[in-house]
Chains A and B, each alone.
Chain A
Amino acid sequence: MRIVTKRNGLIALLILAFSFPYIAQNDYYLHMLTLSFIWAIAVYGINLLSGYTGYLSLAHAGFFAIGAYSLGLLTVKAEMNFWLALAGACVITCVIGLLIGLIALRTKEHFFAIYTLCVGYIIYLVIDKWEGLTEGVRGLIGIPAPGSIGPITFDTAASQYYLVLLFLLAVIVIMYRIIHSLTGRTYIAIRNSEDLARTIGISTMKNKLTAFVLSTFFAGLAGALYASFIRFIGPDIGSTAIMFDLLMYLLVGGIGTLSGPLVGTLLLVILSQNLQFLQKYRMLIFGPLLTLIIIFYPRGLAGAAFEWQRKRRDKKLSMVRADMHMKAEEG
């Protein structure tokens, strides 16, 4: 029996993820990992739309900010219960997502990317300038940590880590199920060729809109978790710089792959934390790295791993065939 199987690998990863708070030397690593899980949830959202449905959205940092500010405002200004506010933040993000999607999805390809880039920037501007509501550049202070559920409280770093981990796992399970279903196949068909999708009877607008709203839901959820984890938010979380960070995580990890968002986010967040001493010159490393990955591995590290696996399997298969052929000739 083989020990290194996909299933055992996943179990090992899960055990590692759940025992990490006990292994970690200090809260700094825990904090970093929690934060990258939150980013990863948003990247999963972008991946659903850009990776699987073929619409590169550059507005998702904006939706992330909408989620964060909705939670912040609902808890700080409306003094709502945290969990209600979390649900409310997701709903608000989805509603705004739906309205923007209805217009944005009338465009395609580059135009869609440019349009959503503008939408993202407008969201940033609204948050930055609407001081009466968002406090503008001063930011929103004093956002409460996740409220307790019965005896379970979320005031330690470890408990927050577990909370975010559970949300991330839920997002991954949902993504897995969508991609491996007829709905996921429908999205992939739209990515592949929208004309062909329409000829085989797929209502492209309806499906694109569903994918768009769901992807904003993930971004909004991530934003809300971010707000309650960092406890302070400023307009910068909706900036284009954040958008391109998220996009970089996705591209390095592997666009259109299930593990890509997590791999890319973890790798780049950890890498950029360790390269802090280089300050802005970090981009001197990231720039060429990103360019090389896009040239040689358009589907990122996860895509490269698949390719490698497939080649190995094909090689094995052809060896088995050659073997059978030889035996047949001998007999």
Chain B
Amino acid sequence: MLIETKNLTKRFGGLAAVNSVDFIIEKGRINAIIGPNGAGKSTFFNLISGFHRPSSGSVFFNGMDITKLPANEIAALGISRTFQSTSLFDQSTVLDNVIIGHRLRTKSNLADAIFRTKRLKREEMACREKAMEALGVVGLTKAADKIVAGISQEEKKRTAIALALATEPEILFLDEPAAGINPDETEGLTELIKKLNTTGLTVCLIEHKMHMIMNLADHIMVLNYGEKIAEGSPKEIRGNDAVIKAYLGGSASA
């Protein structure tokens, strides 16, 4: 297993946003986390990626305890993520936005910058190549020189994924990658995620578009009020009473 959470809990004041969740992400699979709004899905992501410190419980990556590591060190280990709202730099080009993604694999510092050392030049080249490679994977090679402010919402989502890929992750967390894009584009994005997965990348995504999840995910976890209420294959989840109840309210048979 690639990632394991044990008793993972996050309390904000009296509210348990994530309550004692055990979850295992196997290597090479596409995992999904679903649940009604406010179920604690994003908080769960934030706990794994080091944005929030858990109130209790722990997170393991490849058997290593990463519960207390800061976000940047977790990224360096090979865990990458995107945000619900893409926070790219609008005024610069798609390529310039993605180049910085490979920064964590480089070593040049301020002195290298001031003296224009060979190391800096070599690493800049490596970052540029990595960025172009990532843009190639997400299908944005042609848009590399466009200003981000002028590209579509879907292209922005792809740019954000390219940025995450440039960090050379082992696992990619996607927070609602298909929010705010149309059905055709959602289809395209689904294909992209499948393609990423076939290259050996483990994926974990939060999504509200059930159709997309059901034909993409190998393994689904359902959260409701911070607690795990079900887990399993898409088929198992579709027939699960607790899940139907959480989404529709009231008794499942009604």
User: Interface residues, chain A, CB within 8 Å of chain B?
Assistant: 174, 177-178, 181-186, 188-189, 192-193, 195-204, 210, 214
Contacts and interface: CB of A to CB of B under 8 A. Distances in A.
A197 B75 CA distance: 10
Contacts of B71: 198-199
Contacts of B103: 182, 185-186, 189, 200-202
A198 B76 CA distance: 10
A182 B110 contact: no
Contact of A200 (B101, B108, B110): B101
B124 interface: yes
Interface residues of B, number: 38
B113 interface: yes
B87 interface: yes
Contact of B72 (A174, A204, A214): A204
Contacts of B80: 199-200
Given A193-B89, A198-B51, 10 more contacts: A185-B96, A192-B89, A196-B88, A200-B75, A200-B80, A200-B100, A200-B163, A200-B166, A201-B167, A214-B110
B164 interface: yes
A188 B51 CA distance: 21
A181 B87 contact: no
B87 A192 contact: yes
Given A183-B108, A200-B163, A201-B72, A178 B113 contact: yes
Contacts of A182: 100, 103, 106, 108, 112-113, 120, 123-124, 127
Nearest to A189: B100
Nearest to B160: A196
Contacts of B166: 200
Nearest to A185: B100
Nearest to B75: A201
Contacts of B112: 181-183
B72 A183 contact: no
